[in-house]
Structure 1
Amino acid sequence: MISRFLSGVRGTILSPRNSSPLSKFRDFYCYTSQAASSLQQACEPFPYSEDEYAYVDWDNLGFGLMPTDYMYVMKCSENDRYKEGKISRYGNIELSPSAGVLNYGQGLFEGLKAYRKESGGLLLFRPDQNAMRMKFGAERMCMPAPSVDQFIDAVKQITVANKRWVPPPGKGSLYIRPLLMGSGPILGLAPAPEYMFLIYASPVRNYFKEGSAPLNLYVDDEYDRASRGGAGGVKTITNYAPVLKAIMSAKGRGFSDVLYLDSMNKKYLEEVSSCNIFLVKDKVISTPATNGTILSGVTRKSIIEIARDLGYQVEERAIPVEELMYADEVFCTGTAVVVAPVGSITYKDKKVEFRTDAEALSRKLYNTLVGIQMGVIEDKFGWTVEIE
């Protein structure tokens, strides 16, 4: 289906130097993932810039919201399937005050990136993993989810539509944010009667204000990120606001982020607010096992596979906080942070420092992962998806 979609617009949005007939352009933005008859729905033609790149200071790009031109929306009713979706101008959405997502937090989100190759083509990194994770989370949150094919198709569409916002090679990436929410009105505590799948995008670079500089983390033994039997293992929106107080407190004292311990024993490492954590000792890499309270990160999974391919032993297990005192290296992984070296961790007023020089393993893993994502290193794992 995406090939049919691309062929219909290849002479317009994919070739910014060519003029774009308004009729074809209008068809593109009225496009849905259903039969050709749905292309006839009425919609207003949108203004369009034929510039190859948006007017952005790419050298000073950070990790903040920079609204792009278009978003994708698809809806379905309770006990139904998602049947059609469309590209529309980026803008506010209308929700009932009693929407399930607003009243009971019935919502999920994902995060993935699109990269621009030196040739100008666009690459996605493992979108199938995000699609499957959303389906897993949707089951936990009692929501219907798009199929894997629908998810990937929608991600491809939003990437093509916002192509001019994909940074030049080496200048960042287009961060793609799929949302799944209970959009229908509900008063009593129950699943919403209608659901919305929405994707928007923003060009980004470094997640932390330190850029690529090592992070300094604080181990918080007061606040919990997740508990057994909860939803810590899925990417629900309800996991994130509760950690804001801990993050703001830590940043107010000069730390980059917070590392949380398990809620039951306050003894074992869990994860950082927005990323997974790894410890390195000699040739052994350890990371907390995903046992229901820790998010199974796509970057986490990829780094484990890369490290094993490079000959390292990787252990997924319960890690006592005391092991931080003896680690050679510590690093974080996530879609937003990629692979971020940790320079120090403070626990109970004791600060421990770790290796972060150019020969550190985290640098090697980062270079390998980003090289695959940008298409400059052979993707022998079959992870990347080329759009054009």
Structure 2
Amino acid sequence: MYLTYIDGQWREGNAPIMGAMDHSVWLGSSIFDGARAIRGHLPDLRLHLERALRSANELGLTCEYGIDELDALCREGVARFPVDAELYIRPLIFGLEGLLVPTRSGFALTLFDAPVPKFEGFSACLSTLHRPSPSMAPTNAKASCLYPNTTRALVAAKQRGFDNAVVCDPLGNVAEFATANLFFVDADGRVVTPIANGCFLSGITRARVIQLLGTAGVDVVERTVRPQELQSAVEIFNTGNYGKVIPCTKYENHEMPIGEMATLARKLYWEFMQAN
């Protein structure tokens, strides 16, 4: 089920929102964010909405709604679904008019059924593609124009028989998975995640998991990570809005079990979510 709020009303289905001459269609000026409603819980909703507004500003877009109005709209939309629904919440801000520089923006809020993936292992390989630097692309925004490269990395990974891909920054250091942030446990038992260097979006779920692990007495080391380190990792897992915490059980030819840190991170996140 799709439910979209646009032009002051809720519409069912995949509502058309753009025309052939809209700025976002031919010049790529759109941003989105992804939040979650899971059985009535909306973890970190306002943080996602605040990031959406920041992302829009980075691309010269404007939103007609403030943070409180957006929050209320999301909750109104969630209330139209069954109480046990697991939903993806996607605010979208896009350019309508302007030559190169957008002069008018549109807004749409879509909610749709998206069950949380099971806590099962996925496989990943190293991509030959790289994340761009901040001087090359709007990497500090959740900009739609960044995602074709994600698609390319995923297609190449699937052609090799893997589920996902590890993507590096322009210097060849690990940035993240194609679709989520990356954590691993090294041979000394330390939880490590690539330091946010502006080449990838340092996610809201990433920050929440770092905070939750820290509160539980597990310090997370944020540092530069070389791809070869993943070949000897004790465990690898990802964090992201869609799946929250998911374990990686095979990286290239290196197989790993679902580890205790991924399991703990998932448990802590679920407890946080249910309390908020």
Same-fold status (TM-score > 0.5): yes
Q: Is the 8 A contact 1:307 1:365 kept in 2?
A: yes
Match of 1:28 in 2: none
Q: Would you say 1:140 and 2:58 are equivalent positions?
A: yes
Q: How does 1:1-388 map to 2 (within 5 A)?
A: 67-68=1-2, 70-73=3-6, 85-116=8-39, 122-145=40-63, 146-161=65-80, 163-164=81-82, 166-167=84-85, 173-182=86-95, 184-186=96-98, 188-191=99-102, 193-207=103-117, 211-220=118-127, 222-229=128-135, 230-263=137-170, 265-266=171-172, 268-281=173-186, 282-346=188-252, 351-357=253-259, 360-373=260-273, 375=274, 379=275, 384=276
Q: Is the 8 A contact 1:206 1:337 kept in 2?
A: yes
Identity of paired residues, percent?
22
Q: How far apart, in 2, do the equivalents of 1:174 and 1:247 lie?
A: 23
Quick check: which has more Rg, 1 or 2?
Answer: 1
Deviation at 1:365, TM superposition (A): 1.1
Q: Is the 8 A contact 1:97 1:185 kept in 2?
A: no
Deviation at 1:156, TM superposition (A): 0.9
Q: TM-score, normalised on structure 1?
A: 0.66
Q: CA RMSD in A?
A: 1.9
What is the CA deviation profile of residues 147-177 of structure 1, one whole-angstrom value per residue up to 9, with x for unaligned ones? 221221121111112x22743xxxxx11111
Matched to 2:70, the amino acid is: F
Q: TM-score, normalised on structure 2?
A: 0.91
Unaligned runs of 5+ in 1: 1-66, 75-84, 117-121, 168-172
Q: How far apart, in 2, do the equivalents of 1:318 and 1:139 lie?
A: 29
Q: Is the 8 A contact 1:307 1:313 kept in 2?
A: yes
- Secondary structure of residue in 1 paired with 2:55: helix
More strand by share: 2
Q: Is the 8 A contact 1:114 1:166 kept in 2?
A: no
Q: Is the 8 A contact 1:329 1:342 kept in 2?
A: yes
Q: 1:89 to 1:342 in 2, by over 3 A?
A: closer
What is the CA deviation profile of residues 34-85 of structure 1, one whole-angstrom value per residue up to 9, with x for unaligned ones? xxxxxxxxxxxxxxxxxxxxxxxxxxxxxxxxx23x32125xxxxxxxxxx4
Unaligned runs of 5+ in 2: none
Matched to 1:337, the amino acid is: G
Deviation at 1:341, TM superposition (A): 0.7
